[in-house]
Amino acid sequence: MARTFFIGGNFKLNGSKKSIKEIVERLNTASLADNVEVVICPPATYLDYTVSLVNKKQVTVGAQNTYVKASGAYTGENSVEQILDVGAKWTILGHSERRTIFHEDDKLIAEKTKFALDNGAGVILCIGETLEEKKAGITLDVVQRQLKAVIAEVKDWTNVVIAYEPVWAIGTGLAATADDAQDIHASIRKYLAKELGDKVAEETRILYGGSANGSNCSSFQDKVDIDGFLVGGASLKPEFVDIVNSRA
């Protein structure tokens, strides 16, 4: 079964009602490929508003983070139950900025992933190495360690999409070559097959998430293990539509 092309748009801590309306209207009015799934992830403040604007069947909304509790005395956290209540369907977890700036470790990310899935949200699970780890030649060790923690908690991977995001490429304008990214993605899929079986490995979508943009996305289109992109800054721009349609 062919894996459906998947584009995630991570707005990060950017946006206003005006800018988000412009982004969604571009998607609503654009001719989008039928064989693509798009998830846009605005700041939590705008989740409800964004859901109210979307009218394209291929487009849904996700949060940028969720916690391991449904409710309670957890000031500032996002509840899976609440993001679903406003119509969002997905959450990004394990993003490098959560790992590095907010010091979330593999165990916490695994627990958050399990909780989100158990409570009905899809998860865009981010993994990837820093520049120092890349230079040390331990990229595969890092991504396998990050995945191992989640594998220990999650048995059903139906609603998981993996985003390989080399940390050294995020927001720097640098990007892995399409061939290098394909090699890493193929290794990730091989690891999934070893740990979870061929069926899970074949069906799980693996995205590339390192400074993907309208200029470089077409170079990835013939790579069999790259099933889409998790897009940062470019998701705020008109070129996001080009990325969505890059495999049409």
**pLDDT tens-place string over residues 86-141:** 999 999 999 999 999 999 999 999 999 999 999 999 999 999 998 889 889 999 99
The answer to whether residue 165 is catalytic is: yes
At position 103, the amino acid (one-letter code) is H
- Residue closest to 128 by CA, chosen among 51, 233, 11, 230: 230
Residue 224, number of CB atoms within 10 A of its CB: 10
- Catalytic one of 37, 97, 129, 165: 165
For the whole model, what pTM was predicted? 0.96
pLDDT band at 210 (very low <50, low <70, confident <90, very high): confident
Q: Do 218 and 246 contact (CB within 8 A), yes or no?
A: yes
> Among residues 200, 191, 205, which one has the least CA distance to residue 8?
205
Total of domains in the chain: 1
Containing structural domain, residue 123: 5-244
Q: What is the pLDDT of residue 27?
A: 98
Work out the pLDDT band at 221, boundaries 50, 70, 90.
confident
Indicate the Cα dihedral angle 129, 164, 65, 25, nearest 10°: 130
* CATH classification of the domain holding 96: 3.20.20.70
**pLDDT greater at residue 245 or residue 2:** 245
Torsion angle defined by CA atoms of residues 139, 223, 205 and 231, in that order, rounded to the nearest 10 degrees? 80
* Whether the Cβ atoms of residue 11 and residue 43 lie closer than 8 Å to each other: yes
Residue 11 token pair: 């707005």
The question of whether 95 is a catalytic residue gets the answer yes
Contact assessment for residue 207 and residue 184, using Cβ atoms and an 8 Å cutoff: no
pLDDT band at 164 (very low <50, low <70, confident <90, very high): very high
Distance from C-alpha of 49 to C-alpha of 82, rounded to nearest angstrom = 14
The mean predicted confidence, pLDDT, of the chain is 95
The catalytic residue among 95, 97, 129, 185 is 95
C-alpha to C-alpha distance for 82 and 70, rounded to whole angstroms: 8
